[in-house]
Structure 1
Amino acid sequence: MNILISPQAFKGSISAIEVANNIEKGIIKANPNHNIIKLPVADGGDDTLDTLVEVTNGKIFETTATGPDGKNIKTKWGALGDNKTAVIEMAQISGLALMNRNKLEPLTYTTYGMGEIIKECLDYGFNNFIIGIGGSATNDGGLGMAEALGAILKDKNNK
């Protein structure tokens, strides 16, 4: 029998890859004669980067960027196994999980770090992007990201 295992992460506990591996172990324990295909999925938020890189045999790049509160953070982005497509997960750079849930200030948070990571990917030669925008702590509409990429922001008075 062919069995497809295609879970999403169990939010706040284990990744989609871990879920798929555990389901596979249970099936094998019950009957090792099945043909099992694991294809974890992600919805664009937490765990998207790791899932896409893992299932395509891609690569993770560790770096630093500006976090949502303006402080430098250690973060990561990835390349799919085709070595042509960069994967960026907003939750890793401007994510809610990076902030103290007892002291959230979304109106002051920025997506500037997203722009920094996009620029880094461009510097590495990537022109194709998958950007997961789930799990964000920000409400700046991407203005911080645009500014990091060189946009000059002005108000109605041209200031």
Structure 2
Amino acid sequence: MLMDEPFGATDPITREHLQNEFARLQKQLRKTIIFVTHDFEEAIKLGDRIAILRERSHIAQYDTPAAILAAPADEYVAGFIGQDGTLKRLALLSVADVPPALPPDSRLPQVGADASLREALDLMLSHGTDRCGTPTGVLTYASLCEAVGAPAEAVVSGDR
């Protein structure tokens, strides 16, 4: 199936709901869909593989979202990604992907293992107290940075 900018004319709230429903259906149906978008964050959220095209439809890079964010092929791809590639990588990993550092401390903010590292970072930075799931360990700021292979400065320098 080919979908060309299917959510482009929707407001941000509706767009997010449609993206989430699309992702749910894709997991359930397991069909190949070519999804055309100019929204790189949408491509990261919905794509298993991303092709970044140059002028005249030449492929600048084709890979998984994580691989493109971790190692852009060149300056063109890096410019397409933007300044906050490290923060975008946090949305691709879940808390379960990072080994717990210490036993849980009930006084600390907690997230479930299915939360993205981006959600965990947002909670760390806001000192919130949202709770979901059963805690199994502590995700430290250092372990979060290590999981995306970035120094601490890179993880907090972009927009939250």
TM-score by length of 1: 0.31
Greater strand share, structure number: 1
Larger Rg, first or second structure (1 or 2): 1
- Report which structure shows greater RCO (CA 8 Å, sep ≥6): 1
Greater helix share, structure number: 2
